[in-house]
Amino acid sequence: MIATLQAILDTGSVSKAALALGVSQPAISQNLRKLREHFGDELFVRGGSGLQPTPRMLELQPVVQRLLRDWEMLSRPPEDFDPKRASMEFVVCMSEFAEFAVLPPVAAEFARHAPQCRIRGVRAHHSRLLVMLEQGEADLAVGSLVGAVPSLRQQRLADHQVVCMVSAQGRWATTAPGLQDYVDGRHIIVQRASDSMDPISERLRHAGIQRNAAITVSSDFVAAQAVAETDAICTVTRAAGRKLAALFPVRLQPLPFDAGVFTARMIWHERSQRDASNIWLRKLVEAAYHAWAKAPEIVQSPKS
């Protein structure tokens, strides 16, 4: 019966819906009558160009489409995924920095083993993650993902220590800031769209430490450049800081207190749990992320 609703939505006609589904017109009419009784609504009314959906039907439309996609997946026989023969696009939600660190090695694996496949990194607001994964607009999300819906499937990628990123020519280049220096200092905050809150600020708040957020940005690269030019402090994961220190005149110093570790994860929808192509993608992302997170420390020369 769900297919009946979608067919009428697509065609605007009972007879055309019957042709599209390969059933008789009376069968479509009978299904529509039962659906109208079930929902207590006409669902479709006659308009200038055929049957038009009622407001109630428009509310039901996303649910109908999702149910049909899920049914198609359930009905589809299991298939092995052959990356060398596949031709498809994968969409991964990730922060700008995760895209910088993880996507190039994944793309290199695509070039070697899946030459006809494509990968696209996108930025997604945390309020949209569930919908994008649920409706197939994205295959995977990677990051700290604070506030992500607990019902989503997830896998821990790494636990990150956090450090102070400071200017390589500034006051903290050779001496790490103390606790009072940290509290009194000017800070640059990185707020990512995929997090419902800044996880570092939230951790510090619970520890009773309030930062002076002089600048808030959405990019680690902007934060690193701002640190170099303003001599402010930016609290980052050590793995991110290593990459940034190779690109900008910044230095990493230890935090003057124990902030614990921050967990990076990848998440996906239950509907993709056993999908062979999604499993293949997850393995590539996991390997690339581990390689980045466990890269050796950059040895920084002392300030001259």
Q: Is 242 left (phi over 0), alpha (psi -120 to 50) or beta?
A: alpha
125 closest CA partner among 99, 97, 152, 145: 145
DSSP secondary structure letters along the chain: -HHHHHHHHHHS-HHHHHHHHTS-HHHHHHHHHHHHHHHTS--EEEETTEEEE-HHHHHHHHHHHHHHHHHHHHHSPP----TTT---EEEEEE-HHHHHHHHHHHHHHHHHH-TT-EEEEE---GGGHHHHHHTTS-SEEEE--TT--TTSEEEEEEEEEEEEEEETTSTTSSS---HHHHHHSEEEEE--TTSSS-HHHHHHHHTT---EEEEEES-HHHHHHHHHHH--EEEEEHHHHHHHHTTSSEEEEE-SS---EEEEEEEE-GGGTT-HHHHHHHHHHHHHHHHHHTPPPPPPPPP-
Residue 137 contacts residue 66 (beta carbons within 8 Å): no
Q: What is the pLDDT of residue 301?
A: 39
Q: What is the pLDDT of residue 147?
A: 67
Q: What is the pLDDT of residue 302?
A: 39
Q: Which CATH number fits domain 2-75: 1.10.10.10, 3.40.50.10490, 2.60.40.10, 1.20.840.10?
A: 1.10.10.10
Question: CA-CA distance, 117 to 284, in Å (whole number)?
Answer: 13
Q: What is the pLDDT along the chain (304 residues), one digit of tens a residue?
A: 788 888 888 888 888 888 888 888 888 898 889 999 988 999 889 887 788 889 998 988 888 888 877 777 666 555 678 899 989 999 999 888 888 889 999 999 999 999 999 999 998 877 788 888 888 889 999 987 766 677 788 888 888 888 999 999 989 999 899 989 998 999 998 887 656 566 777 777 777 888 888 999 988 999 999 999 988 999 998 989 999 999 999 999 999 888 888 888 899 988 888 889 999 999 999 999 988 887 655 444 334 3
Can you give the residue ranges of every domain in the chain?
A: 2-75, 88-297
Q: What is the pLDDT of residue 200?
A: 76
Q: What is the pLDDT of residue 304?
A: 35
Q: What is the pLDDT of residue 160?
A: 87
- Report domain 88-297's class: alpha beta
Q: What is the pLDDT of residue 303?
A: 41
Residue 233 contacts residue 108 (beta carbons within 8 Å): no
pTM above 0.75, yes or no: no
